[in-house]
Amino acid sequence: MILTVTPNPAVDHTIHFDEPLQPGVVHRTDDAVFTAGGKGINVAKYVSALDADVTASGFLGGHFGKFVRDRLDADGIASDFVTVDADTRLNTTVLAEDGEYKLNHNGPQIRAADVDELVETAQANEPDTLLVGGSLPPGMSLADVDRLARAGDWQIAVDMGGEYLAELEADYYVCKPNRSELAAATGRTVETEADAIEAAEELHARGFEYVLASLGADGALLVTDSEVLSAPALDVEVVDTVGAGDAVMSGFLAAREHGLSDADALRMGVLTASRVVGVAGTRAPNLEDVLTNETHVEVTTVRSR
């Protein structure tokens, strides 16, 4: 079973305008989507759609927290959240003719007792794999993430900012940086595939068993103990990039939960992302063809290690 921990979940509010945004102008639209969001919650949705056993956890509070719980229940996704006093945040993505705008809240204040309860919740669920995904709310530290990593007999995955990855001290199963996060985590310039490989290998050497690097239109890389694998991105119509990186991690974790190989896990990650970018917001698209591998993705060995 996979337990996803979202320390700072959100209600994701996505709105679309068929015009450029202008200051001082009231823009109106009927095209709005509200979904339960946050990296770990997104992963729970996608992993569930990939037919793997998953439970979502983290911190929730207030009306927006109730919305997240209710939406997960409606989607048939098990959850076991810690209730906090402050309100869960609202994150807004505006898709307009002139670009994509993101407006995110910081999140609720978390107390030491809340973190204690989260650790106890994780231990009670006894997952095979525990994922910590997304930003940390005020009051929670990276030491708390390391504490989660060491609190049970599970593999721990992280999908966090590069500045976080650089400071984690425990041993981790897998991390999923994008290009900018690879640069932030290593202090390297990451422009080419060769740059990304070098940065990912440096992260691997720091204690990550797998480094799964999502490179947008350039596909994805997977650094293992024995090799570096590469998979190209698929040529698909991109509607919304929100959740694309979460989808890569979801495909990887679901594949490993199903007992698939490293190459098939990378392939499933890229396929899942190609379906997620085709819908607005972070709702799970139909992923049946990902499970049946009807769409071919060629995974190559870039180098042996």
The C-alpha atoms of residue 246 and residue 57 are separated, in whole angstroms, by 16
pTM for this model (two decimals):
0.89
Q: Which of 158, 190, 197, 200 is nearest to 175 (CA)?
A: 158
Burial label for 74, CB within 10 Å (0-12, 13-18, 19+), is exposed
> pLDDT (tens digit, 9 = 90+) per residue, 90-116?
989 898 989 888 888 999 999 999 999
Q: Write the CB contacts of 95 (distance below 8 Å, at least 6 apart in sequence).
A: 14, 15, 16, 17, 240, 280
Which pLDDT score, from 0 to 100, does residue 292 have?
77
Reported residue count of the chain is 305
Q: Which of 235, 180, 178, 188 is nearest to 212 (CA)?
A: 178
Which pLDDT score, from 0 to 100, does residue 173 have?
97
Which pLDDT score, from 0 to 100, does residue 281 have?
63
Which pLDDT score, from 0 to 100, does residue 285 have?
75
Token pair belonging to 123: 């231990």
Are the beta carbons of 188 and 202 closer than 8 angstroms?
A: yes
Judge whether 31 counts as a catalytic residue: no
Are the beta carbons of 251 and 49 closer than 8 angstroms?
A: no
Question: How do the domains of the chain map onto residue ranges?
Answer: 2-19+31-304
Positions of the chain with pLDDT lower than 70, given as ranges? 240, 242, 280-282, 294
Which pLDDT score, from 0 to 100, does residue 100 have?
87
> pLDDT (tens digit, 9 = 90+) per residue, 147-187?
999 999 999 999 999 999 999 999 999 999 999 999 999 99
Q: Which of 114, 159, 246, 264 is catalytic?
A: 246
Which pLDDT score, from 0 to 100, does residue 238 have?
77
Are the beta carbons of 195 and 189 closer than 8 angstroms?
A: yes
Which pLDDT score, from 0 to 100, does residue 255 have?
95
Among the CATH numbers 3.40.50.300, 3.30.470.10, 3.40.350.10, 3.40.1190.20, which is that of 2-19+31-304? Answer: 3.40.1190.20
Torsions phi, psi of 31, nearest 5?
-95, 90
Q: Is 141 left (phi over 0), alpha (psi -120 to 50) or beta?
A: beta
Are the beta carbons of 81 and 56 closer than 8 angstroms?
A: yes
